[in-house]
Structure 1
């Protein structure tokens, strides 16, 4: 019964709710009945969940008091309270309580007043800032140059980085904003041609034998010069400094940070079992020894190679490029060559005596010395049995420019002649730019302030371009850019489609456009939203619903997936602990990437294809790639792309809690942590996180040497601590139900990890009883029990989305909005679209 408690602690930081009327008195039978049934757990002696029935009052204008009453109403309506074993509340008490709470909240909402001059402010978080700059100036940021690389991480509240109370702006942060804005201005406005024009660099693999790399090649059976290119069966080959930007002495293809096009032309011959070879192109980099550029199956024929191309940001720190074949081919055994022999080859190679180098290399192979690792395996000398790749050439083109001057420059200066150089020209530029940058009409005095900055630069002898850069920097460090300032309209009746009291204030259309765009796109309004705001169309709920449909179809909706879904589902925590490589040998980098990505791909499928949100509780499909299919023991899935995969009836997968990343987050890399998993379930699915444990609660200890207690057995011991028992009763079942999933989310029937090895591993017991008294025998039954609490999940999801959309905690006055949103969602197939439409079309969405 504490679903609002943690949120209320933060919401106390906001202005208290005011009202001009006192709510009706509590129905006379309600409090006595609650005291009779609940005082034992929620009275002066216990006060579980920080709730005391004896301290409740009828004043729902008191935020804390109102939140407690909402907790009580929701808990008794969902059958969670009184708990199992206690006598139920009479039906008339249930209905009287629910009706009184709901009606009183509506009365208070109608009576609250706001100042005519009140405005709400929220700073853009760094992701919103970056997206806004990208959309405003049509800019793409190469490696290391995005505002995300410079601005510090934002604070969070209520689980999101969009809540105003966590987005403070102090002098040190302003310094960051200035430097970022100045860098943006320097990139957006250019003088003359680019310092580094686009060049094409090509490495013909057939040229490698003529280079100093020949000694490297002839010592490896897996690399073989062939007519027109290079054959590769095992290992990899480097660019050997043969691929560099013209005029540069280093081995890097990137003379400046930017975007580069990598193209490799390759064909292949499958192995005797039809295995298609796979290659990876990597770039040497100090931040990550070899950064992957591309990876793909070579399906083109040996005698008809095809190009594979990718455009990717690169920086000036990179080095050589390497091509590797990823098949499991192993041509060598485990013996190392003698040190003297290897030293002799090294000395000859350093003298560039290629004839002697070839002679030694031939002797090396003849005597069974293979490379610097091992000797050739005599059983694998028939190379025709292995998949082979033919490498023709590798080409790098860059730095790439969409156009020159860049679009940011041409857009800013599109309203003036090429020879523009005075303040009148600057006025034309900023008259066009400022309303878009500040996302609203601009007053003449605001324009004059920016022009004064430009004039000062011109008076000091700076060029016209430099003066505009300074004006652009000032525009982007203004509070008008950094903050979402929600202006209100003086129109008492914004639309015939809006039903409200005559004296209710509303946001003006530009503020509504901003709420829509930063909710769904994490960025500024586009041209269509600006036009609708200018025409005064956004006050009408029907028009806002139409905009939602349009915006959901736009590629920028991916930002909602990354931002809302990522934070709601807490995917940033999935890789906090790396599984022990000795205990979980199946775990690799590809799986790590996939388990963090799976929930986001699942959310995207639910959102864009109007599937029911109840699939998060249980589903008959999953959204995975080949690596996850292998991990989940599902056949027939190939390729790195994510796709919908129907589940066989026997599968344990389906729904959020069967995803491997959830279980890796609920572990410490060695053992599972049911309490952490339980906190995740209650927080994510029910927006009901438990209170932090008391300081003396202690941890559930790992097994010490010689012990073999299961996690369940250790939790039982932990519950003997009096300070922990009451919380663990309502928490542990949610985590123990997931014990069949090990640290990396693989299904297990017996305990693994820690000290559990061999045949005598204890079987997993995933049974339990939920706080409402419903029992479950295993994970499958647990999921069914969660589905029985679908209304609780719907309400929690609505609360999460409201926090994200409004940038503030849930308020008691939001109760009616949330109830309506849940009803609308249920009536329209439980889709996220319906939930978003309901929130956006509500009067609260256009109310400051």
Structure 2
């Protein structure tokens, strides 16, 4: 670039600067741009920042965002680049102060006018939990609503879409919820159904003599039950006649024993669905040799589902014989003896259910002599209203429903807006039941229920109760919160602190743990890929279930014990059950319940080495340091790498095992453009190469073609599916020149960055709980939150308390 072109470009910038707000531009800002910026960022250079074209009106969102980016990159020392002359530090400091002041003033002005957060709707998760708690039902509703945008938190207004499909779906979901709550159909027969496994029709056919429906006998037959020798043939003993006519809570009991086994066998129960063509795991246990396993649990089942048991970790025959080839009489491997299964439910104390009485207070439900057919269902009960005006009865129920749904007391005459619908229906000759339902549906489709709104400024006590409840419970406030809000006491700092503790200690806080981690750490994408069955034959639904259980229980433990943020990356414990402990190579853990386990002396501890994270950040076949490294930068440190230039190709791992991903990346990083980002991305990615696609620790890569046969066995048999090939190299060097040899030394380096870890967690919590992205004016408040918790090692519970007490949370 010639001197004359630089001078011309600077003149253009100087003219534009004249339009900047007073106080935004000082001599230092002009000098900084002229000396350190313009020669790389004008119309003649190929960068995303062009000072020739940059508008300086901070009222423009794009302009504001660009100046914010300029501020951040210069303040972080990323610009000018290391190989360029450094600007005068005094000039830079004063220039940054000027830019910071102007950006802060503009950001504060926006917040004062509009508030931090804009109106947003309930997410699918919030909608379902809200109606479950509001109506006392367990019907699946989220699937009736459009899917959420997976870019960022779904609580953020700008990430949410609203369309005609949403409006239609809300009507459908509201009807489904009301139908479930006011169920006047035939009372479910909740008597226990006991299935003797030997008496199942499919089992009898399986043991039929030659000419029956099965040629291969793969089940064992004992006097008191069947013996399962392999996991894949559940069709033989699925309890298909257990199909649920109603959604609700069921009690499932069963009795099982190990058969010819010296090690525990996992027994799991699943719910299957013909209409969806998929199944989900309900719960699982260890059957221990020499003991009878008595299963007794109460899952929530959906209408149309059936259940089936399945056995895992069955030790194979020492002679490597296959049950399909030799049959149960000659097969010497371990099995699970399953005697019987009992199903009871849906469990209820009265019929129609209590939810109907709550929605229609004062009415009587009279059992009909003969069933009636209404709205495509059999009706067993009629409604008898008190003598007088039926509209008064509807008013009583609607007023109670609307106040809870709207999360505040109703305004004078507000209930009448919804009663009009019922009155018109009654005037046209509709039955009381239909008129009531129409009014209820109008409440559940009201913006006052479906949306979070409010005026700029401090939240009133009812809005504060709502924000609290949707933060920790994903649902409407309970009676305690509403009572405190009604008394004007919830906004008291100490009362608010007590309520946060109460809510975090409640079982419903698990909703927060699961939903927050699912989005912050991307765990809701864990099933986006399926591990290759040849490369990872040990992967099964039980291991998959334990993965997310660990991560959610781990975060819950950090909250419960107020442990410091360094534990996010390097803790001396993990939350494990036996299945996961075996996967991690940690001995001494018995049973399938998740509990705190000491991990000193192992590589485990912290989110980075958890199987759920490691699976989510890999595909089904290979791992990528780029994917995992960028996940660490984005999710743990809050410093995401920019997307690669459009002309840079993706790196394709070699699944044949002829080259390692590190070798491919070394060639990739020779480009100056690539290296500027990969110097940050690759170090954490390399450290995490010690873990495979399903989170198992490895020293060599698995390959389907090249390498040596594994010396270890899988459930007593030789491993033939894959080979062990090229060695893993988890060493590297951080951008600031600190070397590490493995994941343990890298975690120690990362754990020292407590301030960065805490700041990122606070930012995630603020965005998630308030539904608004972090704005420039929020930075000082975040700094204040961090200062409050610094002396306590940034305890996770302390950080949550500080967030809730801050203006970021307590103001719209």
TM-score tier by shorter-chain length is 0.7 to 0.9
SS of residue paired to 1:737: helix
Distance apart, 1:843 and its partner CA: 2.4
Distance 1:264 1:112, change over 3 A: closer
Distance 1:644 1:51, change over 3 A: farther
Give the Cα–Cα distance (whole angstroms) in 1 for the partners of residues 674 and 312 of structure 2: 54
Give the Cα–Cα distance (whole angstroms) in 1 for the partners of residues 204 and 250 of structure 2: 27
Kept after mapping to 1: 8 A contact 2:227/2:259:
no
Choose 764-773 or 608-617, whichever is displaced more: 764-773
Q: Deviations along 1:455-514, whole A, 9 cap, x unmatched?
A: 1121222221221111111111111111112146xxxxxxxxxxxxxxxx4332222221
Distance apart, 1:566 and its partner CA: 1.3
Kept after mapping to 1: 8 A contact 2:202/2:237:
no
Distance 1:797 1:255, change over 3 A: closer
Q: What pairs with 1:258-337 in structure 2 (closer than 5 Å)?
A: 258-266=248-256, 268=257, 273=262, 275-276=263-264, 278-281=266-269, 285-286=273-274, 287=276, 294-298=283-287, 307-315=294-302, 317=304, 321=308, 327-328=314-315, 330=317
Q: Deviations along 1:637-664, whole A, 9 cap, x unmatched?
A: 2222222221233x22222222233333
Q: What pairs with 1:558-573 in structure 2 (closer than 5 Å)?
A: 558-573=510-525
Match of 2:142 among 142, 145, 148: 148
2:354 paired residue number:
407
Q: Do structure 1's residue 741 and structure 2's residue 691 form an aligned pair?
A: yes
2:764 paired residue number:
800
Distance apart, 1:767 and its partner CA: 3.5
Q: Do structure 1's residue 167 and structure 2's residue 163 form an aligned pair?
A: no
SS of residue paired to 1:254: coil
SS of residue paired to 1:395: strand
Q: What pairs with 1:585-624 in structure 2 (closer than 5 Å)?
A: 585-624=537-576
Match of 1:254 among 236, 244, 256: 244
Give the Cα–Cα distance (whole angstroms) in 2 for the partners of residues 622 and 775 of structure 1: 26
Match of 1:771 among 722, 735, 752: 735
Kept after mapping to 2: 8 A contact 1:201/1:243:
no
Distance 1:773 1:277, change over 3 A: closer
Q: Deviations along 1:671-726, whole A, 9 cap, x unmatched?
A: 32221112211110122222222332211134497x83321221233345565444
Choose 434-443 or 306-315, whichever is displaced more: 306-315
Kept after mapping to 1: 8 A contact 2:707/2:726:
no
Distance 1:788 1:231, change over 3 A: closer
Q: Deviations along 1:146-186, whole A, 9 cap, x unmatched?
A: 111211212245x1111112223222221111011112112
Q: What pairs with 1:440-455 in structure 2 (closer than 5 Å)?
A: 440-455=408-423
Distance 1:298 1:241, change over 3 A: closer
Q: What pairs with 1:613-692 in structure 2 (closer than 5 Å)?
A: 613-649=565-601, 651-692=602-643
Distance apart, 1:527 and its partner CA: 1.0
2:345 paired residue number:
398
Q: What pairs with 1:196-595 in structure 2 (closer than 5 Å)?
A: 196-204=188-196, 215-216=207-208, 223-226=220-223, 229-230=224-225, 232=227, 234=229, 251-266=241-256, 268=257, 273=262, 275-276=263-264, 278-281=266-269, 285-286=273-274, 287=276, 294-298=283-287, 307-315=294-302, 317=304, 321=308, 327-328=314-315, 330=317, 373-375=325-327, 380=332, 389=337, 391=339, 393-414=340-361, 419-420=385-386, 422-487=390-455, 505-595=457-547
2:703 paired residue number:
753
Could you state the TM-score of these two structures normalised by the residue count of structure 2? Answer: 0.81
Distance apart, 1:79 and its partner CA: 6.6
Name structure 1 gaps, 5 residues minimum.
1-20, 245-249, 336-369, 489-504
Distance 1:269 1:810, change over 3 A: closer
Q: Deviations along 1:808-833, whole A, 9 cap, x unmatched?
A: 21111111111112222323331222
SS of residue paired to 2:508: helix
Distance 1:332 1:830, change over 3 A: same
Choose 159-168 or 128-137, whichever is displaced more: 159-168
1:700 paired residue number:
651
SS of residue paired to 2:695: coil
Kept after mapping to 1: 8 A contact 2:104/2:776:
no
Distance 1:378 1:414, change over 3 A: closer
Distance 1:827 1:46, change over 3 A: farther
Q: Deviations along 1:530-576, whole A, 9 cap, x unmatched?
A: 12221222344443333212221222211111111110011123332
Kept after mapping to 1: 8 A contact 2:690/2:697:
yes
Choose 779-788 or 277-286, whichever is displaced more: 277-286
Distance 1:734 1:813, change over 3 A: same
1:494 paired residue number:
none
Q: Which has the higher contact order (CA 8 A, sep 6+)?
A: 1
Distance 1:251 1:507, change over 3 A: closer
Distance apart, 1:396 and its partner CA: 1.7
Distance 1:208 1:820, change over 3 A: closer
Q: How many residues align?
A: 752
Match of 1:713 among 656, 663, 669: 663
Kept after mapping to 2: 8 A contact 1:83/1:772:
no
Distance 1:767 1:308, change over 3 A: closer
Q: Do structure 1's residue 138 and structure 2's residue 102 form an aligned pair?
A: no
Q: Deviations along 1:5-30, whole A, 9 cap, x unmatched?
A: xxxxxxxxxxxxxxxx9674566556
Question: How big is the alpha-carbon RMSD for the aligned residues of Structure 1 and Structure 2?
Answer: 4.2
Kept after mapping to 1: 8 A contact 2:687/2:743:
yes
Distance apart, 1:312 and its partner CA: 2.6
Give the Cα–Cα distance (whole angstroms) in 2 for the partners of residues 111 and 571 of structure 1: 37
Kept after mapping to 1: 8 A contact 2:54/2:63:
yes
Choose 202-211 or 279-288, whichever is displaced more: 202-211
Distance 1:755 1:796, change over 3 A: farther
Kept after mapping to 1: 8 A contact 2:653/2:660:
no
Kept after mapping to 1: 8 A contact 2:24/2:99:
no
2:125 paired residue number:
127
Name structure 2 gaps, 5 residues minimum.
1-19, 211-215, 365-383, 710-723
Distance 1:169 1:647, change over 3 A: same
Distance 1:86 1:681, change over 3 A: farther
Give the Cα–Cα distance (whole angstroms) in 1 for the partners of residues 500 and 385 of structure 2: 43
SS of residue paired to 1:679: helix
Distance 1:615 1:708, change over 3 A: same
Kept after mapping to 1: 8 A contact 2:531/2:621:
yes
SS of residue paired to 1:598: helix
Give the Cα–Cα distance (whole angstroms) in 2 for the partners of residues 42 and 221 of structure 1: 72
